[in-house]
Amino acid sequence: MKKIFIREEYCMNCRLCEVHCIVQNSKTRNIIKAYKGEYPKPVSRVLVEEKGYLSFALQCRHCEDAPCLEACITGAMHRDPESGAVLADEEKCVGCWMCIMVCPFGVISRHGEGKRVISKCNLCQGEEIPVCVKNCPNEAIVFEEAS
């Protein structure tokens, strides 16, 4: 399956990945309306970790043996057979936050004000390549076949 791979030597900590993730998951998908008009503003599902001059964008790794899949009590967390991505069904999520607690990468978060469900990277289902990868100005994250 195709996954997002990190090349931390090229990340410049601009966080454009976070910006575009927010826009992609907004209602209007328009950056100005998403930031200024929408309420609630969606939370970015990718976060840039930084220490000194080292930085890189981190999102759900869509692990082969994902702890969140095991932990989910309702089965909202499931694996999409085609893309191999781990997806969360918002209808079924009851907001128990177990997945957030077990995720070793800490890449699952609460949805933001208003909805008691989780939010995490879904590899931009429906797009050719995830928007964080597409918009990274320095190709610090790439979308490739996992070997």
Partner 1 sequence: MAKGKITPEFKIIRDMEKCVSCQVCHRVCSNDAHLYDPDAGEVTSEDSRCVGCHFCETLCPTGALTIRRNPSEIKLNALWSGRALEDITRQSSTGGVLLTGMGNDRPFPVYFDHLLLNASQVTNPSIDPLREPMELRTYLGGKPDRLEIKEGQKPEEVLKSFLSSQISLETPILFSAMSYGSISLNAVKSLAKAAREAGTLWNTGEGGLHPDLYPFGPHLVVQVASGRFGVHQEYLEAGAAIEIKIGQGAKPGIGGHLPGEKVTEQISRTRMIPEGTDALSPAPHHDIYSIEDLKQLIFALKEAVRYRKPVGVKIAAVHNVAPIASGIVRAGADFVVIDGLRGGTGAAPRVIRDHVGIPIELAISVVDQRLREEGQRNRASLIAAGGFRNSADVVKAVALGADAVYVGTAALVALGCHVCQKCYTGKCNWGIATQDPYLTKRLNPEIGARRLVNLLRAWSLEIKEMLGGMGINALESLRGNREQLRAVGLAETDMKILGVKPAGEAW
Cβ density class 71-106: b for 16+ within 10 Å, e for less? bbeeebbeeeeeeebbbbeeeebeeeebbbeebeee
CA distance 76 to 56: 29
Q: Is 31 in the site for partner 1 (CB under 8 A)?
A: yes
Could you tell me what percentage of the chain is helix, strand and coil, using 3-state DSSP and rounding each to the nearest 5?
25, 20, 55
Q: If you ran DSSP here, which 8-state letter would residue 10 be given?
A: G
Q: Which of 73, 139, 144, 146 binds partner 1 (CB under 8 A)?
A: 139
Residue 70 or 139: the one with the smaller Cβ distance to partner 1 is 139
Q: Radius of gyration over alpha carbons of the chain, in Å?
A: 15
Q: Is 5 in the site for partner 1 (CB under 8 A)?
A: no
Residue 74 or 138: the one with the smaller Cβ distance to partner 1 is 138
Q: Smallest Cα–Cα separation from 134: which of 147, 125, 144, 143?
A: 143
Segment contacting partner 1 by CB under 8 A, of 62-70, 92-100, 102-110, 133-141: 133-141
Residue 9 or 91: the one with the smaller Cβ distance to partner 1 is 9
Segment contacting partner 1 by CB under 8 A, of 11-19, 84-92, 102-110, 115-123: 11-19
Q: Is 19 in the site for partner 1 (CB under 8 A)?
A: yes
Q: Is 14 in the site for partner 1 (CB under 8 A)?
A: yes
Say if CB 66 and CB 86 are below 8 A apart.
Answer: yes
Segment contacting partner 1 by CB under 8 A, of 14-22, 62-70, 83-91, 109-117: 14-22
CA distance 73 to 12: 39
Binding residues for partner 1, per CB under 8 A? 9-16, 19-20, 31-32, 35-36, 53, 135, 137-140
